């Protein structure tokens, strides 16, 4: 339930009574109506010729195409998006030293509960609304996709639809402000996958597979031009827009929320994103934020940097722990309760979470009776019984963990050798432009591998110390 204070804040956002807006400085010549945006798309798609060519679309989506992040603020205001007087977009260079990351900061110090953004529901793109708008002919495409992919797939179709409308789309200026270059799994090459250790490579390959499934499903969609459907550049860009920017809504829907999508990831969020019953979105500060600091919320678990790299294409080094990368093919209910996989951590100081030892021991106990006794001791808080099992089976558990760490280090060594053989390691000579342009994602991959290796070396040292003290 919303407090009266929160309702008052929302009211101020909607009325602008205490909410300072940036005034437009650039004239936007085309202003298609959002209220007419649904403009009987089904009829529109039936009438639109299939001979549309890509050069007719004003949005250039080549990887090196410039982003228009100047006009986006004017567009937002003209479409009713409330921008707080401290809201500011800024840019920072990414690992490839070519493409900028554009994100939100506060221009002045702000207190908790300061309004940052208000986005009306008719500007927000949701999977369910896209499904309703695009019509029944899209339903057949669902058959080839997992249920969890249905809503994002409709956002994918919606982005492609608006892309084909070009500057006739109400979302043209927002789309034209978005990145063209991505470093996530869907954008990686086979060479990139070969430079990642198996766990990270598997996550990245899963994103690539999802992208290919989305493209295959387009064969059932007739309202998009064949040129768009068959263009890897177009389809991959639309896929990346969706999967690097969508937010999950209460109730299971997914949404692209213009301007809120410029909030970067942070392991410790300083903003809160909420929605009212009409689907309007509100962003408030949760903490005090200093001038020039990024406004951030969590995209996902920061203890799994490999997953964030595969899905979003960035590396989060802020967490004090990381997933130990011990993967069980068919985990049982008991294993989940013992902490698999969400609490199986290697700490940045080399420490190992108790859950790692618990899960490994449970898996080692071949007798169902012993497994159940250990599990019951865990669930009932019987620490003495658990410790007895750990003491009895320590040599076996230790050996499994040590072998696992050695394997991970070996795979990182192999990945480094593959990069070195191609002369594309992160320390490549800056004058070798040809190599860096061929594989621009390698600096990020190398940094990921070095981060993981640094933690593993500390864990390995910790384990070596245990052998001398036990």
Burial class (CB in 10 A: 0-12, 13-18, 19+), 462: middle
pLDDT, one tens digit per residue, over 120-133 is: 999 999 999 999 99
Q: What is the pLDDT of residue 112?
A: 96
Over residues 39-68, the mean pLDDT reads: 59
With respect to residue 304, please indicate whether it lies within any of the assigned structural domains.
Answer: no
Q: What is the pLDDT of residue 303?
A: 83
Q: Answer yes or no: is pLDDT of 468 > 50.
A: yes
DSSP run (H or E) holding 126: strand 125-126
Q: What is the pLDDT of residue 470?
A: 55
Query: 87 phi and psi, to 5 degrees?
Result: -70, 130
**Comparison of pLDDT for 144 and 367, the residue scoring more:** 367
Q: Answer yes or no: is pLDDT of 35 > 80.
A: no
Q: Answer yes or no: is pLDDT of 251 > 60.
A: yes
What DSSP line would sit under 167-203, residue for residue?
GGSTTHHHHTTS-S---SGGG--HHHHHTS-HHHHHH
What DSSP line would sit under 336-380, residue for residue?
HHHTTTTT-EEETTS-B-HHHHHHHHHHH--SHHHHHHHHHHHHH
Contact in structure between 424 and 439 (CB atoms under 8 Å): yes
Indicate if 345 and 227 belong to the same structural domain.
Answer: no
pLDDT, one tens digit per residue, over 205-215 is: 999 999 999 99
pLDDT band for position 92 (cuts 50, 70, 90): confident
Over residues 81-95, the mean pLDDT reads: 87
- Cα distance between residue 132 and residue 111, in whole Å: 40
pLDDT, one tens digit per residue, over 153-195 is: 999 999 999 999 999 999 999 999 999 999 999 999 998 998 9
Overall number of domains in the chain: 2
Q: Answer yes or no: is pLDDT of 359 > 70.
A: yes
Indicate if 220 and 337 belong to the same structural domain.
Answer: no
Indicate if 364 and 279 belong to the same structural domain.
Answer: no
Last residue of a domain, one of 297, 331, 353: 297
- Cα distance between residue 131 and residue 137, in whole Å: 10
């919303």: which residue's tokens?
Answer: 2
Q: In this structure, is the dihedral angle defined by the CA atoms of residues 94, 96, 97 and 98, taken in order, positive or negative? A: negative
- Cα distance between residue 420 and residue 425, in whole Å: 6
- Cα distance between residue 464 and residue 350, in whole Å: 11
The percentage of the chain sitting over the pLDDT mark of 70, rounded to a whole number, equals 82
pLDDT, one tens digit per residue, over 434-463 is: 455 578 888 899 999 999 999 999 999 999
Over residues 149-153, the mean pLDDT reads: 86
With respect to residue 179, please indicate whether it lies within any of the assigned structural domains.
Answer: yes
Indicate if 251 and 335 belong to the same structural domain.
Answer: no
Burial 404-430 (b: 16+ CB within 10 A, else e): bbeebbebbeebbeebeebebbbebee
Mean of the per-residue pLDDT values for the chain?
84
Q: What is the pLDDT of residue 56?
A: 54
With respect to residue 302, please indicate whether it lies within any of the assigned structural domains.
Answer: no
pLDDT band for position 289 (cuts 50, 70, 90): very high
With respect to residue 303, please indicate whether it lies within any of the assigned structural domains.
Answer: no
Q: Answer yes or no: is pLDDT of 374 > 90.
A: yes
Q: Which residues contact 225 (CB under 8 A, 6 or more apart)?
A: 50, 51, 52, 53, 164
Indicate if 161 and 247 belong to the same structural domain.
Answer: yes
Closest by CA position to 338, among listed 321, 324, 354: 354
- CATH assignment of the domain containing 175: 3.90.1410.10
With respect to residue 162, please indicate whether it lies within any of the assigned structural domains.
Answer: yes
Window from 24-33, 146-155, 252-261, 407-416 with minimum mean pLDDT: 24-33
Q: Which domain holds residue 463?
A: 320-469
């Amino acid at each position: 339930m919303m407090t009266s204070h929160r309702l008052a804040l929302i009211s101020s956002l909607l009325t602008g009574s205490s909410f300072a807006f940036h005034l437009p400085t650039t004239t936007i010549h085309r202003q298609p109506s959002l209220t007419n945006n649904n403009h009987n798309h089904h009829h529109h798609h039936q009438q639109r010729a299939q001979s549309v060519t890509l050069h007719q679309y004003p949005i250039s989506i080549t990887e090196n195409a410039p982003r228009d992040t100047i006009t986006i603020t004017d567009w937002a205001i003209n479409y009713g998006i409330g921008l707080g007087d401290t809201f500011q977009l800024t840019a920072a260079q990414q690992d490839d030293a070519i493409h900028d990351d554009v994100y939100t900061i506060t221009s002045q110090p702000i207190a908790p509960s300061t309004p940052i953004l208000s986005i009306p529901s008719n500007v927000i793109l949701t999977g369910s609304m896209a499904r309703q708008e695009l019509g029944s002919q899209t339903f057949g495409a669902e058959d080839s996709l997992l249920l969890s992919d249905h809503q994002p797939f409709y956002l994918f179709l919606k982005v492609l639809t608006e892309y084909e409308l070009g500057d006739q789309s109400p979302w043209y200026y927002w789309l034209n402000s978005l990145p063209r270059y991505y470093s996530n799994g869907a954008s990686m090459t086979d060479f990139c996958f070969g430079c990642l250790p198996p766990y990270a490579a598997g996550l990245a390959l899963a994103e690539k597979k999802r992208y290919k499934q989305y493209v295959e499903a387009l064969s059932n969609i007739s309202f998009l031009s064949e040129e768009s459907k068959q263009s890897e550049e177009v389809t991959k860009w639309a896929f990346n827009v969706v999967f690097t920017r969508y937010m999950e809504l209460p109730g299971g829907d997914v949404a692209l929320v213009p301007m809120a999508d410029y909030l970067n990831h942070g392991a410790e969020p300083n903003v809160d994103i909420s929605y009212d019953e009409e689907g309007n979105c509100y962003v408030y500060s949760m903490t005090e934020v200093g001038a020039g600091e990024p406004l951030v919320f969590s995209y996902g678990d920061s203890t799994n940097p490999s997953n964030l790299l595969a899905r979003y294409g960035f590396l989060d080094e802020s967490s004090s722990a990381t997933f130990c990368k011990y993967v069980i093919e068919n985990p049982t209910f008991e294993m989940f309760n013992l902490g698999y996989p969400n609490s199986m951590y290697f700490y940045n100081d080399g420490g190992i979470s108790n859950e790692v030892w618990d899960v490994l021991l449970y898996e080692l106990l071949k007798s169902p009776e012993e497994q159940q006794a250990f599990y019951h001791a865990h669930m009932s808080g019987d620490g003495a019984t658990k410790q007895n099992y750990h003491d009895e089976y320590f040599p076996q558990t230790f050996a499994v963990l040590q072998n696992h760490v050695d394997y991970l280090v070996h795979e990182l060594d192999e990945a480094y050798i593959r990069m070195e053989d191609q002369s594309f390691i992160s320390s490549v000579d800056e004058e070798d432009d040809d190599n860096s342009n061929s594989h621009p994602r390698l600096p990020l991959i190398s940094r990921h591998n070095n981060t993981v290796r640094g933690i593993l070396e500390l864990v390995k040292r910790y384990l070596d110390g245990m052998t001398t003290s036990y």
